[in-house]
Structure 1
Amino acid sequence: MMTTATTSKLFTQVQSLFQASGGFASIRQQAVESLENQGFPVAKAEEYKFTNLSKKLENGLTNASFAEPFSIDQATVDAHIFADFDGDVLVFTNGSWNKELSKVTQDYSVEVISEDGLLGAISKPGKDAFADLNTAAFQEAIKISVAKGKVIEKPVLLIHFNQANEGQIVMPRLLVQVDEIAQVTLLEYAVCLDEEVYFSNALTEVKVAAGSYVKFFRLQNQSSKAILMDTMETDIHRDAVFTSVKISLAADMIRNNLTLNLLDSGCEGNMYGLYLLNGKTHVDNHTNVDHTMPHAVSNELYKGILTDSSRGVFNGKIFVRQDAQKTNAFQQNNNILLSENAIINTKPQLEIWADDVKCSHGCTTGQLDEEALFYLQARGLDKTQAKGMLLYAFAGEVLEFISDEPFKAHITNLVMERLGTQF
């Protein structure tokens, strides 16, 4: 169920941000029409049943406006790059690319898109209201291109610096196009330079052409007042492999939409996630895997540790179309609750129209194993150390999918700090 857009407070708040030109008139018009027809989701909308993002924004965006690009110096950038990083850096301020502070040394291209027809081919208007909002209102779209046969040896870090007045919106828009038999690893995180309430509504489209390998590792560790909407949709072609790892540690409310379209035989899509939630943090992971052709593989593992009055949501859908024979699809969601007030809503789903497939899904929710806790304490660890070791072992399974060692070490330190472990 959607609210009527013309009576929606949120629609009225953001309507002035819609762009009428800028070289993207056609796709913007489609997005605006979708918003006008469907509006933003209300509390009873099935896809946002446990995450009333519209209400949160109505309260937080009393005077919605764009957060403008701002000046930043090299010292500030360097201070927020994790230890031992060795690669290229793309710097963004409030969603706009800062070319002067970015470092591009390898054989790929970065550009601001000005022509129509490139955006929206993967993430089409009409699928989600907040993706439509991005399409209707983004200020600048960036394209990262890796040409056929190019292997980008070192990772590319996308670091977003956000500095917004209360109620402002950051609207990042990114297109990643990796041509045939190419390889690249992308890392991404954002840095809040103040503690104001703001809304980041990001949309990323990724094309993984035949025979290519793309890894995208992302960290969400922002201020307790940040409201985040992050949408990523990928097209994966013949014999290509795409791997996503998303680590969610801090913000006020986070909604992650991730869609993998497996469009040809022999392709593989991997989705891994970890969320460590405390206070009143709310994180909602919605994933979709669409198997359309035979002999494709998908793997999905999301894990959560929740304490205090935090809330987690996991809704994972796997579609296996009639032509997608010999599909191999795996999905699992596991959660540990450390307090009586923490809440998890989990819903793994399979929809299968083919008859020769291997698919499995499941979820678990529980507390720490008391026998394992007692065993570790009996061998000299105090209760805090034993608890931390068990929690880290639980979380570490997801961290192992991060192949960039310095980034993995950085995130591991954050996770250990959160879990209170010292070993």
Structure 2
Amino acid sequence: MTTLTKNKVTDLFLGQIPNFNSFPSLRRKAQDVLMQKGLPESKDEEYKFTAFSKKLEQSISDYSPAKTTYLSQEIVQSHTIKGFEGDLIVFNNGHYEPELSKLQGQPYEISSLKDSNPVSLGKVSKIENDPFIALNSFAFEDGIFIKVGRNKIIEKPILLLYFNQSSKGQVISPRVLIEVEDNAEVSFLENSISLDEEAYFCNTVTEIIVAQNSHVHYNRLQNESKKAISLNNFGADIHRDATFTSVVVSLSGEMLRNNLSLNLLDSGCVGNMFGLYLLDGKTHVDNHTNVDHTKPHAESNELYKGILADRSRGVFNGKIFVRQDAQKTNAFQQNNNILLSEDATINTKPQLEIWADDVKCSHGCTTGQLDEEALFYLQARGIGKVQAKGLLLYAFAGEVLEKISDETFKVYIDNLIQERLGSSF
């Protein structure tokens, strides 16, 4: 095909993904950004340790949009968390499946993006912020719009199940926009599921607007196939006296990248970010976070922990910006890692940029091995080495797991982690 940009993978996407008629201005802008910048290469500082373009070139054979695959109610039910009682929203290769979803009349609205055409689409996760936001904005066919009205309390969590299967490695482009109006509360759970062991590329954009005095929890589990290539751009605008909490647990996949951006737009708002990555084999997980404090008297808390075995690789890059007007900011950031193998690797880079002079900010990172003295202490009391090792690692992970807002989801993830720690680690 004719070369359009300086980036081969970008050309493959631009040449095979149709420019859908819906959202024309968003798609034109996305196409312009891709033409000008292309997808990131190794020289791009933001993707220095995660060669996404190279991985796509090696693993993907068809750059066209993925179509829906066979998915039955039985399959959905088998992957629904035992004991879960809230609403269920099902995606099939990025396409919303209302017939397979389970909505029980809770007080919120859900519609397709095409039908609702919300003006806020693309306002939180801006196309120019990341090339993969631009790619999703160019490639997505439709998505969902969830609106939680003023003063509404959603008592049961909403579970989003993403079923991915693409035998040709086609691109899956889910798109979700959530608006939570004043004085509302809601909790979301998200689980990504691979229906086979073939390679696929899932490029997701999720935008959340948290209005004044609202409270939102969003819990994510990534436990995909060993060939899964997944990139998630997640953005939240947080307004006065509102709280947003994100928890992401990454267990499996070939290459996973999580971009999380919180914009603290007014006084009294709080942004919380917690992450756990438990990696083995050759799994590569990259967590990039960005917190932007723009107004005074706001707070952010961030804790990411990693346990890495075999030849796995982790990347953590956390940025906190404190603008000149954001006096009395309180910002905390910490990244802690345990390496269980000489071949496991972690690249960590916590960052602070502060333009205000009356703030309380701290950041740090640690990387080490399992505490041999603690291991010896447990063994001396009759606990076997494997069990003792598992107990110490579980205790290390527990500080993040306790942040999961839904007990059913917490127990489900807890069981996965205990099973993992008792076997391959």
> TM range, normalised to the smaller chain?
over 0.9
Alignment TM-score, normalising by the size of structure 1? 0.97
Read off the aligned partner of 1:206 and give its amino acid letter: I
Within 5 Å, give how 1:30-41 maps onto structure 2: 30-41=29-40
Query: What CA distance in whole angstroms lies between the structure 2 residues aligned with 1:5 and 1:405?
Result: 50
8-17 or 291-300, which moves further after superposition? 8-17
State whether residues 303 and 333 of structure 1, in contact with CA within 8 Å, keep that contact through their aligned partners in structure 2.
Answer: yes
Q: Give the one of 258, 261, 264 matched to 1:259.
A: 261
**1:289 offset after TM fit, Å?**
0.3
State whether residues 5 and 40 of structure 1, in contact with CA within 8 Å, keep that contact through their aligned partners in structure 2.
Answer: no
Query: What CA distance in whole angstroms lies between the structure 2 residues aligned with 1:320 and 1:5?
Result: 39
Read off the aligned partner of 1:112 and give its amino acid letter: S
State whether residues 19 and 28 of structure 1, in contact with CA within 8 Å, keep that contact through their aligned partners in structure 2.
Answer: no
**1:160 offset after TM fit, Å?**
1.0
Residue 328 of structure 1 is matched in structure 2 by 330
**1:177 correspondence with 2:179:** yes
Residue 82 of structure 2 is matched in structure 1 by 83
State whether residues 17 and 64 of structure 2, in contact with CA within 8 Å, keep that contact through their aligned partners in structure 1.
Answer: no
Residue 101 of structure 1 is matched in structure 2 by 100
- 1:99 alignment partner, SS class: coil
Per-residue CA distance 1:83-142 (angstroms, 9 max, x = gap): 211211001100111111111121111110122633111111111111110001101121
Residue 111 of structure 1 is matched in structure 2 by 111
- CA distance change for structure 1 residues 21 and 117 in 2, over 3 Å: closer, same or farther? farther
Read off the aligned partner of 1:380 and give its amino acid letter: G
Query: What CA distance in whole angstroms lies between the structure 2 residues aligned with 1:206 and 1:217?
Result: 13
* CA root-mean-square deviation: 1.3
Residue 54 of structure 2 is matched in structure 1 by 55
5-14 or 274-283, which moves further after superposition? 5-14
Query: What CA distance in whole angstroms lies between the structure 1 residues aligned with 2:182 and 2:21?
Result: 30
**1:62 offset after TM fit, Å?**
2.5
State whether residues 17 and 137 of structure 1, in contact with CA within 8 Å, keep that contact through their aligned partners in structure 2.
Answer: no
Read off the aligned partner of 2:379 and give its amino acid letter: Q
Q: Give the one of 284, 292, 299 matched to 1:282.
A: 284
**1:57 offset after TM fit, Å?**
0.4
Query: What CA distance in whole angstroms lies between the structure 2 residues aligned with 1:254 and 1:140?
Result: 23
**1:352 offset after TM fit, Å?**
0.3
Q: Give the one of 384, 392, 395 matched to 2:394.
A: 392
Residue 73 of structure 1 is matched in structure 2 by 72
176-185 or 20-29, which moves further after superposition? 20-29
Per-residue CA distance 1:275-294 (angstroms, 9 max, x = gap): 00100000000000000000
**1:308 correspondence with 2:310:** yes
Residue 211 of structure 1 is matched in structure 2 by 213
- CA distance change for structure 1 residues 234 and 19 in 2, over 3 Å: closer, same or farther? farther
Query: What CA distance in whole angstroms lies between the structure 2 residues aligned with 1:62 and 1:104?
Result: 37
**1:22 offset after TM fit, Å?**
2.9
- 1:65 alignment partner, SS class: coil
Query: What CA distance in whole angstroms lies between the structure 2 residues aligned with 1:23 and 1:13?
Result: 22
Query: What CA distance in whole angstroms lies between the structure 2 residues aligned with 1:116 and 1:387?
Result: 50
Query: What CA distance in whole angstroms lies between the structure 2 residues aligned with 1:390 and 1:309?
Result: 21
12-21 or 188-197, which moves further after superposition? 12-21
Residue 408 of structure 1 is matched in structure 2 by 410
State whether residues 320 and 354 of structure 1, in contact with CA within 8 Å, keep that contact through their aligned partners in structure 2.
Answer: yes
Read off the aligned partner of 1:291 and give its amino acid letter: H
State whether residues 315 and 348 of structure 1, in contact with CA within 8 Å, keep that contact through their aligned partners in structure 2.
Answer: yes
Which ranges of structure 1 fall in alignment gaps of 5 or more residues?
none
State whether residues 113 and 140 of structure 1, in contact with CA within 8 Å, keep that contact through their aligned partners in structure 2.
Answer: yes
Alignment TM-score, normalising by the size of structure 2? 0.97
Which ranges of structure 2 fall in alignment gaps of 5 or more residues?
none
Query: What CA distance in whole angstroms lies between the structure 1 residues aligned with 2:372 and 2:314?
Result: 23
Residue 193 of structure 2 is matched in structure 1 by 191
Residue 233 of structure 1 is matched in structure 2 by 235
**1:349 correspondence with 2:351:** yes
412-421 or 43-52, which moves further after superposition? 412-421
- 2:35 alignment partner, SS class: helix
Read off the aligned partner of 1:52 and give its amino acid letter: A
Per-residue CA distance 1:125-170 (angstroms, 9 max, x = gap): 1111111100011011211110000000000000011121222111
State whether residues 269 and 298 of structure 2, in contact with CA within 8 Å, keep that contact through their aligned partners in structure 1.
Answer: yes
Query: What CA distance in whole angstroms lies between the structure 1 residues aligned with 2:197 and 2:372?
Result: 39
How many pairs does the alignment contain?
Answer: 419
- 2:67 alignment partner, SS class: coil
118-127 or 296-305, which moves further after superposition? 118-127
**1:134 correspondence with 2:141:** no
Structure 1 runs (4+) greater than 4 angstroms displaced: none
Q: Give the one of 241, 246, 249 matched to 1:247.
A: 249
Query: What CA distance in whole angstroms lies between the structure 2 residues aligned with 1:83 and 1:66?
Result: 32
State whether residues 264 and 294 of structure 1, in contact with CA within 8 Å, keep that contact through their aligned partners in structure 2.
Answer: yes
**1:70 offset after TM fit, Å?**
2.8
State whether residues 160 and 190 of structure 1, in contact with CA within 8 Å, keep that contact through their aligned partners in structure 2.
Answer: yes
State whether residues 8 and 40 of structure 1, in contact with CA within 8 Å, keep that contact through their aligned partners in structure 2.
Answer: yes
